[in-house]
Chains A and B, each alone.
Chain A
Amino acid sequence: MTAKKKRKPASTGAAKARTKAEAAQAKFAQGIVARGEAVPAGAPLTRGATHEIVGNDAKGAPILKRKRFTMS
């Protein structure tokens, strides 16, 4: 009797990539907020700010939208 060989689900690679992208996105957003580079939507951009906080995701993390690139 031969045991059926377990195959990895076809989506493993894609799921891994999604997880990595989500982690990268979270780290990016966390840094922007921690450095004070994000302001509430509609508020004037302060010195060094580059993003607006346009909402929060299901986990409560901020959703950011870039408003500009700065020199430093």
Chain B
Amino acid sequence: MTTATKARPATKRATAKGATAKTVSVWMDDPASPLKLVDRPVPDLSKGPLKYKIKGAAVPAGHYAPGTAQFRYWAAAEPLRRGADFWAPLLGVKHWEPGAVLPVSLDKGVDLNAYYDRTELAFFHEKVGQTTYYSGESPDVVCHEMGHACLDAHRPELFDAPFIEAGAFHESFGDMSAILSALQLPEVRKATLAGVAAYMPTALSRCAEQLGEAIRKVDKTAVDSDCLRNAFNSFKYVDPQTLPDSAPATALCAEVHSFSRVFTGAFYEILSAMLDIRSKSPKESDLAAVAVDVARLLIDATAAAPVKPDYFAQVASHMIDADTARFGGKYRAALTATFVKRLILPNAAVAGMHESVSRGSRSVVAAVAMAPPASSESHKVTLDAKEFGLGDKKIVVVAPIEHKPVMSVAAGLARKRSGGVPDIEEAAHRFVKMLFAHDRVDTESGAKKLGVTDATPRQQLRKTHVLTQTKEGLELSRRLFHCGCTIACDHPR
């Protein structure tokens, strides 16, 4: 927002010399946030893999005053770069869904909104009362839209999925992207650490304070009282089929932005609980670490979760499975407690899960061998080994189909929701794909038990499952729960 003001002298110097500054002045998370301006390195928008091109003439880097078009250029450019640099290595994508370079319109016209439409990111301005609001000036708004583009690059099938929960998850991902991108700034981590640790509302939880203020002036019931959408909320899941099409912001409705608050609320609570698991006296670096961990879980889960009407539960169950595969169940308590409390997952889908060995010694970790025996309450799923680079063989997976899932919450959820074997097979298939993607399968030793000594290579401890030769083919079984982060292993973070 803001009224136009003159650029600072530094800008004039930079322009006069034909040179550019090394830093730019930008908002930390929103123009109306208590977190104010910060100096950041000049972002390179042409840097791959996720490149941008802001339409119109480029503005020389410099320290411009808020309210100027030059300031708004860098106020958008910096979070665009920061957010994409955060997501790109996690996504593993080589380009945006629409192509190599994502165009950006900083001022597409009059509106209190912004959008991503597979051709560009677009931001707007509008005068409300005496104030002109520019949506592209807010890092929250910028990183929300950039989040849509990232999720689209990662999971294009979601873009036009005709389900409320799929659309709502896309919106939630945008808000989560705003939170996680803001957490890449040490200044934001320092300012919000205590609030996140105590699970309280913070500048981080309040998404798009200024745009919320502008919309509230037009319709005071359309947005939250302190921002556009606050991730610190108590919304619980209800079947969106039962919700009205519209409602004031104080209630849930079947509109995707409104309904997204259920998942974003769970996410913010999980972030706090994960921080608590990581450290009882967390530091700013711990908050940085859990931001990366929860982002990894989101990306793993969205890669594996089938696009179905109950998409929130699909993502939630796959996040729990991803935590098992990636972190040895380190964050299981945070995930299960929150998803069950928020009614996103039924208690039955997570009941009976084995607790992770988060504080265990090396030998205890190895002792937790889990090879669920085949029984009348399990279903054997046969997969083509060729898909995993293992030649012309079959992989046999014993998938649980009872209400106490051992190997996979996603499989348990599929059983509970549909009772159909095809769903179990699909969930088991996705789980196995995830294990291979994270290099968690020992395809060579054929040994179900692993004797662990100090000399055991750390790489071996990452193999939570093993393939053993049986009459039916290569049978996949769990060998151990990975130790998580309690010992100095070199698993990818």
Contacts and interface: CB of A to CB of B under 8 A. Distances in A.
Interface string B92-120: 00000000000000000001111111100
Contacts of A20: 309
B309 A69 contact: no
B114 to A, nearest CB: 4
B14 to A, nearest CB: 32
A71 B245 contact: no
A68 B118 CA distance: 7
Interface residues of A, number: 28
A64 B160 CA distance: 9
A64 B170 contact: no
A13 B164 contact: no
B113 A70 contact: yes
Interface in A54-72: 64-72
Contacts of A24: 162-165, 240-241, 309
Given A28-B162, A34-B246, A69 B418 contact: no
Contacts of A71: 113-115, 135, 141, 144-145, 174, 208, 211, 228
Interface string B249-269: 000001101000000000000
A41 interface: no
A6 interface: no
Interface string A25-58: 1011111001100000000000110000000000
B160 A28 contact: no
Interface in B147-179: 148, 159-160, 162-165, 167, 170-171, 174
A13 B160 contact: no
A13 to B, nearest CB: 3
Nearest to A37: B255
Contact of A68 (B112, B117, B421, B422): B117
Contacts of A16: 418, 420
Nearest to B142: A71
Contacts of A35: 245-246, 255
B215 A72 contact: yes
B420 A70 contact: no
A1 interface: no
A72 B111 CA distance: 11
A29 B256 CA distance: 12
B208 A13 contact: no
Contact of A69 (B112, B115, B208, B223): B115
Interface string B319-362: 00000000000000000000000000000000000000000000
Given A13-B418, A47-B113, A69 B171 contact: yes
B159 A66 contact: yes
B308 interface: yes
B117 A13 contact: no
Contact of B163 (A25, A30, A48): A25
B423 interface: yes
A69 to B, nearest CB: 5
B160 A66 contact: yes
Nearest to B126: A47
B446 interface: no
B149 to A, nearest CB: 9
Contacts of B418: 13, 16-17
B48 interface: no
Given A13-B423, A31-B245, A68-B115, 10 more contacts: A24-B241, A25-B163, A25-B309, A28-B163, A48-B113, A69-B145, A69-B148, A72-B112, A72-B223, A72-B228
Interface of A: 12-14, 16-17, 20-21, 23-25, 27-31, 34-35, 47-48, 64-72
29 contacts: A13-B420, A14-B420, A16-B418, A16-B420, A17-B308, A17-B418, A17-B420, A17-B423, A21-B163, A23-B309, A24-B162, A24-B240, A24-B241, A28-B163, A31-B164, A31-B255, A34-B246, A65-B160, A66-B167, A68-B118, A69-B148, A69-B170, A70-B114, A70-B115, A71-B174, A71-B211, A72-B211, A72-B223, A72-B257
Q: Which 4 pairs of residues, A with B, have the shortest CB-CB distance?
A: A13-B420, A68-B117, A24-B309, A31-B245
Interface of B: 111-118, 135, 141, 144-145, 148, 159-160, 162-165, 167, 170-171, 174, 208, 211, 215, 222-223, 228, 240-241, 245-246, 254-255, 257, 308-309, 418-423
